[in-house]
Chains A and B, each alone.
Chain A
């Protein structure tokens, strides 16, 4: 019996011609093997997409892995994040999102430990970013609050190299 792996590959991509669908469905109704192939291709598709998303996200955030600083970005994404905080604790990245659509504002680095706890420089209030809406966990807003309370300054690349301390 001829199996339909090739057609199933087209089908999961939404690229199988209408006139071929009928034949495929009729076969799949009777063929367990092809139903299995279909299920596998769907799973493969989903996992592959996850793989690429993870990989691309990692490439987009590669700077965050380089130093022991919190990187705070005020973002503009139609879909997602205004504030993206990379918390680097023991090489483990943590991301907190606040959902809201705004324009990209700025990126600052905040040192993890505050030597000069005396002078706290507040981040300038970004104009474009209005009242933030915490998307979900209270925990995230606590983290943001904490990070915001740390003394912060813009750190140049040279500073980062100098101060870098046991990168991941």
Chain B
């Protein structure tokens, strides 16, 4: 259990709004939606602050709220609209391995793989933080990252 001294919403906003924004953007893939998400996440945080028991850090708690909010939002969105880029042929599935660049392979990662790789390689979070955000064990984080790497390394030139 991590003990953390109580911090004000304002202070947390100053420290973590960038993290919340980037994580939102990585899920929602839309700048304006991600900006909205930051507001929504902090509103939810303030409303639920009383229930925070310090079982994780403020940071991972905020990012958990972010994750929940963004996935609900993106589900709602894909129900409303037909996904346009979903119509594109999946180059990754269609081609032979050798003709695919690493960037293509990265772009074609599954949602889960993409997310955990984002959290590690872009956001730079520790295994423990990632485990808390994704609600999985640290051992599971280790295995998942290892598997993604094993799969991607063959696309290195």
Q: Is the interface of A mostly helix, strand, loop or mixed?
A: helix
**Stretch of B4-12, B71-79, B88-96, B143-151 contacting A (4+ beta carbons < 8 Å):** B143-151
**Selected contact of B142 from candidates A9, A41, A44, A62, CB within 8 Å:** A9
**A60 and B127 contacting across the interface, CB-CB below 8 Å:** no
The minimal Cβ–Cβ distance linking A62 to chain B, given in whole angstroms, is 6
Interface size class of A (residues with CB under 8 A): 20 to 34
Give every chain A residue within 8 A of B102 (Cβ-Cβ). 44, 47-48, 51
Chain B residues with Cβ below 8 Å from A40 are 153, 156
Q: Which residues of B in the span 106-142 have a Cβ within 8 Å of any Cβ on A? A: 106-107, 117-118, 120-122, 126-127, 142
Partner of A48, one of B126, B146, B152: B152
Looking at B22-30, B41-49, B52-60, B62-70, the stretch in contact with chain A turns out to be B22-30
Output the nearest chain B residue to A54 by Cβ-Cβ distance.
Answer: B103
Q: Is the CB of B152 within 8 A of A44?
A: yes
Secondary structure at the B interface, as helix, strand, loop or mixed, is helix
CB proximity of A103 to chain B, nearest CB, Å: 13
| A15 CA / B142 CA spacing, docked (Å) | 9
Give Cα distance in the complex from A126 to B123, angstroms.
32
Residue of B nearest to A15 (CB): B127
A 1-60 contacts with B by CB, 8 A: 5-6, 9-10, 13, 15, 37, 40-41, 43-45, 47-49, 51-53, 55-56, 59-60
- A5 near B156 with CB under 8 A, answer no
Q: Is A15 a contact partner of B149 (Cβ separation < 8 A)?
A: no
Instruction: Say whether, besides A9-B146, A13-B120, A56-B26, A63 and B31 are in contact (CB < 8 Å).
Output: yes
Whether A53 contacts B152 by the Cβ 8 Å rule is no
Q: Given the complex, which residues of A lie within 8 Å of B118, measured CB to CB?
A: 52
Which of A10, A44, A56, A60 is within 8 Å of B122, CB to CB? Answer: A56
Q: How far is the CA of A15 from the CA of B29 in the complex (A)?
A: 29
| Min CB–CB distance A153 → chain B (angstroms) | 22
Q: Which of A6, A41, A51, A62 contacts B153 (CB 8 A)?
A: A41
Tier of interface size on chain B: 20 to 34
In the bound complex, CA of A59 to CA of B121 (Å):
17
Give B127 Cβ to nearest chain A Cβ, in Å: 5
What residues of chain A lie closer than 8 Å to B150, measured between beta carbons?
A: 5
Partner of A9, one of B25, B149, B156: B149
Closest Cβ neighbor of A45 among chain B residues: B121
Indicate whether A52 sits within 8 Å of B122 (C-beta atoms), given known contacts A5-B150, A44-B156: yes
Q: Which residues of A contact B26 (CB under 8 A)?
A: 52, 56
**Residue of A with least CB distance to B21:** A60
Q: How far is the CB of A49 from chain B (nearest CB, A)?
A: 5
Contact present for A51 and B106 (CB under 8 Å): yes
Residues of B with C-beta under 8 A to A41: 149, 153
Q: For B103, B117, B121, B156, which residue has the most chain A Cβ atoms within 10 angstroms?
A: B121
- Extra contacts, 15 of them, besides A44-B149, A47-B156 (Cβ < 8 A), are A6-B142, A6-B146, A9-B142, A9-B146, A13-B127, A37-B153, A40-B153, A43-B156, A44-B153, A48-B106, A56-B22, A59-B29, A59-B31, A59-B34, A60-B31
